[in-house]
Amino acid sequence: MSASALTQQLILLLQSDSLPNATAWQKRVKIVQEWLQVNAAAGNLPDDGMEDTVLRQMQRGDMYPSAQARCWRHIVGELREVPCVLNFEGDEQEPSPSRGKIRAGKDLVVLSDACVTPLELDPPSPLAVDPDIPLSQRSGSQPPLSTQKTFSSMSMMERQAEWLRKKAEKVEAEERRQREEKEKELTFKPNLMRRQTYTERPPETVKPPSVTKQNSFNDKLMRAADTRPSSRSVEKPKAAKAKASVKKKKAARPIDAKLEVTSDLLNNMKSELKASKAMKLETSAPDEADGDEPDDGGGDEDEPCDEPKDGDEDEPPATKVPTSPELEYKIDFSGAENKARLVLQDASLFELNSMYRKTDKGARREGIALQMGRREDNHEEQVVAVIFDKEKMSEAEAQRWWNEHKCRFLETAGNNGTT
pLDDT tens, position by position, 127-138? 444 555 554 455
Taking residues 312-337, what's their average pLDDT?
A: 53
pLDDT at 174 over 80: yes
Q: Residues 6 or more apart from 283 whose CB is under 8 A from it?
A: 322, 328
The better pLDDT of the pair 82, 241 is held by 82
- Determine contact, residues 369/381, Cβ cutoff 8 Å: no
Arithmetic mean of pLDDT over the chain: 70
- Determine contact, residues 215/253, Cβ cutoff 8 Å: yes
The better pLDDT of the pair 301, 78 is held by 78
The better pLDDT of the pair 199, 314 is held by 199
The better pLDDT of the pair 401, 208 is held by 401
Taking residues 360-381, what's their average pLDDT?
A: 87
pLDDT given at position 26: 87
pLDDT band, residue 206 (cuts 50/70/90): low
pLDDT at 331 over 90: no
pLDDT given at position 320: 39
pLDDT at 121 over 50: yes
Q: Which range, 72-86, 269-283, 366-380, has the best average confidence (pLDDT)?
A: 366-380
Taking residues 159-164, what's their average pLDDT?
A: 90
pLDDT band, residue 164 (cuts 50/70/90): very high
Considering just the CA atoms, what is the radius of gyration of the chain in Å? 58
pLDDT at 413 over 70: no
Q: Which of 44-48, 94-98, 223-227 has the lowest mean pLDDT?
A: 94-98
Among residues 15, 348, 379, which one has the least CA distance to residue 164? 15
The helix/strand/coil state of 373 is strand
pLDDT given at position 340: 85
Residue 215, classified by CB atoms within 10 Å of its CB into exposed (0-12), middle (13-18) or buried (19+), is middle
The contacts found for 354-363 with CB under 8 angstroms, 24 or more apart, are: 354/381, 355/265, 355/269, 355/384, 357/387, 360/386, 362/405, 362/408, 363/401, 363/405
Q: How much of the chain, in percent, has pLDDT values that exceed 70? A: 53
The better pLDDT of the pair 98, 30 is held by 30
pLDDT given at position 295: 46
Segment 77-87, tens digit of pLDDT? 888 888 888 87
Q: Which range, 2-11, 128-137, 325-334, 386-395, has the best average confidence (pLDDT)?
A: 386-395
Q: Taking the domains of the chain in order of start, what are their residue ranges?
A: 3-90, 339-414
pLDDT band, residue 248 (cuts 50/70/90): low
